[in-house]
């Protein structure tokens, strides 16, 4: 995965420091069989680089960069669950990570410059990063699945984004799904 190493070598120091610090943060194995946060970012980045869309590439790099932090607004931290196969899994939970990543982008001019230097749009990347988790509930709602967003909330959510951002969120949901192969 030399292309990932080359891409990340051009990232600002503030990003690289965060990536190194939280690279080994344990993931919830029933959603992330790759096991640790750094591997997840590597895989999503590899998939996005293969896709070639500059906005998606930057979303892949930034979407979970704050996942290793402690949550600000909700409960999180170290959690242990028993999965369907009976195996227990201890992982770090941070439900606030999309919001924290959006703020990381907003508050770091170096990150914004990195996004622009890679041919992406700062506002688009920020909005997709901020909404990448809630979009999963939106998609479930469209399919009528349990845990999905209700119609009135889906309409309000969709109206808050551009059609391009909605398309990127749909594509990124595929890139971010570790339970099935990503098909271009």
What pLDDT, in 10s, does the model give residues 55-73? 999 999 999 999 999 888 7
> Does the pLDDT at position 1 exceed 90?
no
- pLDDT, one tens digit per residue, over 127-160 is 999 999 999 999 999 999 998 999 999 999 999 9
Report the pLDDT value the prediction gives residue 66, as an integer from 0 to 100.
Answer: 96
* Cα–Cα dist 144/138, whole Å: 10
Q: Give Cα separations from 181 to 18, 44, 159, 173 (angstroms).
A: 27, 11, 30, 12
- Alpha-carbon dihedral of residues 125, 130, 134, 139, nearest 10 degrees? -10
> Does the pLDDT at position 74 exceed 80?
no
């Amino acid at each position: 995965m030399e292309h990932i190493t080359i891409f990340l070598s051009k990232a600002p120091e503030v990003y690289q420091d965060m990536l190194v610090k939280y690279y080994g943060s344990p993931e919830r194995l029933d959603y992330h069989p790759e096991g640790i946060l750094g591997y997840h970012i590597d895989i999503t980045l590899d998939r996005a680089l293969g896709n070639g869309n500059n906005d998606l590439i930057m979303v892949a790099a930034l979407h979970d960069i704050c996942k290793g932090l402690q949550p600000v607004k909700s409960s999180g931290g170290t959690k242990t669950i028993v999965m369907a196969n009976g195996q227990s899994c201890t992982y770090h939970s941070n439900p606030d990570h999309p919001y924290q990543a959006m703020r990381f982008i907003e508050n770091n001019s170096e990150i914004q410059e990195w996004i622009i230097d890679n041919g992406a749009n700062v506002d688009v990347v920020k909005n997709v990063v901020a909404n990448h988790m809630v979009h999963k509930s939106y998609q479930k709602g469209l399919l009528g699945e349990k845990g999905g967003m209700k119609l009135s909330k889906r309409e309000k959510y969709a109206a808050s984004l551009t059609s391009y951002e909605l398309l990127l969120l749909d594509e990124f949901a595929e890139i971010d799904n570790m339970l099935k192969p990503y098909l271009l």
